[in-house]
Structure 1
């Protein structure tokens, strides 16, 4: 496997059967697209892949038809059977806003037929993309589809939203919404409005998800974890608070997850 995105759970089980590759966007698409990702799998028995999703909207070219995935605020799960592949476009936070008529929060926890947003021509584009010889060619075709549909200029507020999300995801020690708002020069209420309009999840959810990503990454590292110390580092009231939060989302305790 070439690329293992942060947030994929049980990576040691995932790696032997799922191949993931990512490709950067070109300069014209870069203000809107974070990267293109290609997943190919081959399993002898059904396998459920689980992911602590990021605050990103995805356009996924798959069978039987392309779908738009809003931010999944729960645990994303997908059952893999036999052989298959998908090509996804991971939009930057705020990068999908030009394609919808209302706040991106309206897509949260939803899977929408891409034809409802991009028109029926996306289905023919999806056929060409999935028939391409390799992941790089697929990504190039996906970008060729998007380029004429992108606005001439990026929305400055979308760029601000992306920068704030990037700061949160890179710094799980950020603890409070008001702290994030102050660092961005915004009021808490304005920050919440910006996130609903452009990101699709609340600042509180993004903060919590960043902490869970870090806890899962520590567990996956294969070295002993001082859960009490990590709870303090991540701003939890105590170790029990971290355990409750992790268990509520992942479905098992951090220590049991680390042993799996």
Structure 2
């Protein structure tokens, strides 16, 4: 498996966290791979084998691109043979404004948008192994899209406060950082992101726990709960299980086995 991340240019960093590329050969049989929730929305372009997920009990093929919004539980995608992905990792309070789409809570979202016209050009680049050229086409398109929208200053300040605190900040303090009231902030967040500030901050904080357990499976969970502002270890465990379906201790043991 190959994975790379690429910084967004400065003029896109108020809307896009980064770009990333992944390539993996899954073999001839249909295989599933799990995506765990985090604090971002992703625009996903895929190349090679088809990518599918289960919807209403049926395996449904996904077009390229599609979007994963904020997830409240893991989602399993299915593919076989070689799959390549270019992802655009966006802040959830900016992605819908960037694309000119109505906000929603869809975990996996199929959408109609002029950005889909890039697929043939990107496909040509990927077949030739020119990943950076494909990224250049995407960046140029998004720079043009970004130039035609106004990023709400209140949301920008609120998002900056959430990022700085990794989600470990009360909504009242986010509102204060954005120089607004909690009521106004919540209304704008739901309009632009489809989720509340608490939804987003909870996922951002969970992401910190998940990352720590990925990289340091033997870390003290009680200490991690204190560090990240959970009431106690039980609070962390409840939130972790809510997003993953498993406990942090079991997740860490599985990761520890994987790392050996």
Q: Is the structural similarity TM-score above 0.5?
A: yes
Match of 1:48 in 2: 33
Structure with a larger share of its residues in strand: 2
- Aligned CA distance change for structure 1 residues 119 and 67 (closer, same or farther; 3 Å): closer
Show the counterpart of 2:251: 257
1:41–1:80 contact (8 Å) kept in structure 2: no
Determine the structure 2 residue equivalent to 1:155. Answer: 150
Unaligned residue ranges in structure 1 (runs of 5+) = 1-17
Q: Distance in 2 between matches of 1:98 and 1:22?
A: 21
Query: Deviation digits for residues 10-62 of structure 1, max 9, x if unmatched?
Result: xxxxxxxx322122334554444332211111234624132223233x32222
1:123-176 C-alpha deviation (Å, 9 max, x unpaired): 434433433423212201222333444434x5241x542442343234247342
5+ unaligned residues in a row in structure 2: which ranges?
51-62, 255-260
Q: TM-score, normalised by structure 1?
A: 0.76
How is 1:2-13 mapped onto 2 (pairs within 5 angstroms)? none
Q: Which residue of 1 aligns with 2:16?
A: 33
| Corresponding residue of 1:97 | 97
Q: Secondary structure at the match of 2:70?
A: coil
What residue number does 1:79 align with? 78
Work out the CA distance in 2 between the residues paired with 1:180 and 1:120: 35
Would you identify which runs of 4 or more consecutive aligned residues in structure 1 move more than 6 Å?
Answer: none
SS of match in other structure, 1:62 = strand
In 2 relative to 1, CA 98–211 (structure 1 residues): closer, same or farther, beyond 3 Å? closer
RMSD: 2.8
Query: Superposition pairs for residues 136-175 of structure 1, below 5 Å?
Result: 136-152=132-148, 154-157=149-152, 159-172=153-166, 174-175=168-169
Q: Please give the alpha-carbon distance, in whole angstroms, between the structure 1 residues aligned to 2:239 and 2:210.
A: 12
Instruction: Call closer, same or farther: CA 1:138–1:122 in 2, change over 3 Å.
Output: closer
- Matched with 2:53 is none
- 1:203-222 matches, cutoff 5 A: 203-222=197-216
Work out the number of aligned pairs and report it: 236
Change (3 A) 1:59 1:211: closer
Q: Deviations over 1:177-201 (max 9, x none)?
A: 1222123221111111221233342
